[in-house]
A = this chain, B = another copy of it.
Amino acid sequence: MNTLPKSQQKRDALVKATIRLVNNNGFHATPMSKIAKMAEVSPGTIYLYFKNKQDLVNQIYIEVKAAFSEFAFKDYKEDLTVKEGFKNIWKNIAEFKLKEIEEAMFLSQCDNTPIIDEPSRQEGLKHLQPLLDLMERGQKEGIIKPVSPYMLYAFSIYPIAFFMKLQERAIFKLTRENIEEAYEMAWNSIKV
């Protein structure tokens, strides 16, 4: 109903505010009124851009997920070797999760919580395909272990989420050096 960018500025402010507040308090503990206040907008204005609260998070989830995969595959090309391609993608994912912490934490909360509705969840899922394709190629070339792609993902990509959470709580920070170590561990876990 309201996907037109009437005033992109206001919509952006709402998105930003929602991400921050949901990160800090959770979906159900962030009132629309607080979102409006942080976005310096009237509560009623939210409903010019989003149908309701559910639609608000759904839209944000899909958009952030899209931005994430855009970033993840930004410099991936078909003609890279499997190893180069994987390194590219892994580094990008790590960079996104450790730099765009707010967005990444928001995705994490959505993915670990029943706040996103099923269609949006599905929508968000399809973005991984290029990575899965790459891994399959690696398997055909005999470079990557012939196991389920879920397993490959679990041991190579998924751990990055753990670093993100540690970093967000200021418990542990990936530095230039140990990010290289981490990448090596990731690659070793999937390479033949």
* A96 adjacent to chain B (CB < 8 Å): no
Cβ proximity bits A92-117 to B, threshold 8 Å, 1 near / 0 not: 00000000000000001100111100
Cβ proximity bits A155-192 to B, threshold 8 Å, 1 near / 0 not: 10011111101100001100000100110011011100
Known contacts A159-B154, A159-B155; decide if A115 and B26 are in contact (CB<8 Å). Answer: yes
Q: How large is the interface on A (under 10, 10 to 19, 20 to 34, 35 or more residues)?
A: 35 or more
Copies of this protein chain in the complex: 4
Checking B27, B147, B154, B172 against A148 with a beta-carbon cut-off of 8 angstroms, the contacting residue is: B172
* A80 adjacent to chain B (CB < 8 Å): no
Chain A facing B: main interface SS = helix
Q: Is the CB of B26 within 8 A of A185?
A: no
User: Complex: how many Å from CA A178 to CA B151?
Assistant: 9
Q: Is the CB of B27 within 8 A of A26?
A: yes
Please name all residues of chain B whose beta carbon is closer than 8 Å to the beta carbon of A28 when the two chains form the complex.
Answer: 26-29
Most central of A24, A162, A188 by chain B CB within 10 Å: A162
**Least Cβ distance of A8 to chain B in Å?**
22
* A3 adjacent to chain B (CB < 8 Å): no
Cβ proximity bits A16-42 to B, threshold 8 Å, 1 near / 0 not: 000000011111110000000000000
| A–B Cβ pairs within 8 angstroms, 28 of them | A24-B114, A26-B26, A26-B28, A26-B113, A29-B114, A109-B112, A112-B113, A112-B165, A145-B185, A147-B181, A147-B185, A148-B172, A148-B178, A150-B162, A150-B171, A151-B178, A151-B181, A151-B185, A153-B162, A154-B159, A154-B162, A155-B186, A155-B189, A158-B159, A158-B162, A185-B190, A188-B188, A188-B189
